[in-house]
Amino acid sequence: MHINIQPTAVVKKALRFSTAEGMAYGAFLGFGDHFIVAFAVALHANNFLIGILCSLPGFLASLSQLWGGDLARIMKSRKKLVMVFALLQGLMFIPMMALFFFPRGSQGWWLVLFVCIYSIFGALVSPAWGSLMADVVPNNLRGRYFSLRGGLSTLTTIVTFLLGGLFLNFLVQRAMWGFVVLFGAALLARLVSFLLLARLYEKPTEARGEAESRLTEYVRGLPSTNLGRYMIFLFAMSFVVSIASPYFAVYQLRDLKFSYLAFAALETVSSVATLLTIRHWGQAADRAGNLKMMYLASALIPLVPLLWAVSSNLAYLGLVQAFSGFAWAGFSLCSVNYLYDATARETRTRYLGYFNAGNGMASGLGALLGGYLATHLPPFRGYQILSLFLISGILRGAVSIILLRRLKEVRRVSDIPAAELFHIMMGGRPVNRRISHRRTSHFHDHEQAEGKTDKPPA
């Protein structure tokens, strides 16, 4: 597949390898990461332990990212950092597979330990990889390229996750052995990903600029800059989303007694919806701006947990999952691309690390709160977890209404009518329009510092 994103042959080739790496990473998620909570359920972990599993690893991983920029500077290569920790992350599936031979009463706690280490290694990959890719892909093509890469990665995740569910359903009486096989496949997929990461294209970065962007400067800028306010919005959204998100699998497998096949099928529906719509989100974001599309996605996301509380019918939940995949395709794509647009290249690795640290801590605290609430809330329609879903949905809506309106676009975008935006989202071709406005471009709001008017968003 050929993507004409940069005129140089080396960049084109690197992006083709990056797309292939995304597919290998998708298999890694489909065979491994997506089954970790189901593995904990199979180990007979209770809701509290699952809450710990879904909160503590993310919390520790987020703290580790505070030093991501320093690691990149010490290793003198973002690419080397990505490769080393991607490999270490994959290797953590070896001790997870060995849990089959551990004493039954301690398996859940050992799993928490291994997933903590696994999550830390994976977290250290993220900011450096994002910084590398943001250097290579032009601003006005990020939506299209990352939606293409994300779509192919999602397709691979769909296939591998569904195969994994079928495999576990076939081995339902020997599910533990099934998880061993799946985690082994995940390790192999990460090894392929590691080999493809070696073909990443790394532009040199200014070490001086990375060294000067310190944590105190980042924290001071949170309430007073556009990027800082955006990060606060994402932190808050991650917190309220994570109150419920770890418990969808628990609700299906433990409360509703769904088979592994039904569980995998529902997740597959969501992934298919993401795959079919993410390209349209990317095209619309390239034209209308990431922020405008974030408004739309943030209006849809609060509905997801509320819809789950309506009925437990499998066909109905399939429709809810399709809606969820559509909404999260837009939110995930546009939220990351907005960060790439809004951070200066010289400090991007460090600031992405700071952001991921805050986001991970917010997610971990949300999951921990969800674990507590899941055992203390009154039941709704017979299930305490449904009460948790209702709370998460209401809080998601509140965060969107209160915090999104304070943000503004950070790059040049077209004035595009709502009707044309809908046309693009439905797969139509965009119309060429003039670029009408420009917003601040990075954390320090240089335009405001130079005396330009800080206008509200269009």
Q: Is residue 299 part of a domain?
A: yes
Domain boundaries, position 371: 10-442
Residue-level pLDDT at 455: 30
CATH number of residue 259's parent domain: 1.20.1250.20
Q: Is residue 449 part of a domain?
A: no
Q: Tens of pLDDT along 319-338?
A: 999 999 999 998 988 888 88
Q: Is residue 1 part of a domain?
A: no
Q: How confident is the model at residue 227 (pLDDT cuts 50, 70, 90)?
A: confident
Residue-level pLDDT at 307: 97
Residue-level pLDDT at 422: 63
Residue-level pLDDT at 443: 38
Q: Is residue 78 part of a domain?
A: yes
Stated pTM of the model: 0.70
Q: Is residue 450 part of a domain?
A: no
What is the spatial distance between Cα 206 and Cα 222, in angstroms, rounded to a whole number?
A: 24
Q: Is residue 214 part of a domain?
A: yes
Q: How confident is the model at residue 214 (pLDDT cuts 50, 70, 90)?
A: low
Q: Tens of pLDDT along 228-262?
A: 888 899 999 999 999 998 889 889 988 999 988 89
Residue-level pLDDT at 113: 95
Q: Is residue 141 part of a domain?
A: yes
Number of domains in the chain: 1
Residue-level pLDDT at 17: 86
Q: Tens of pLDDT along 262-314?
A: 988 898 899 889 888 888 888 888 778 888 888 889 999 999 999 999 999 99
Q: Is residue 108 part of a domain?
A: yes
Residue-level pLDDT at 449: 31
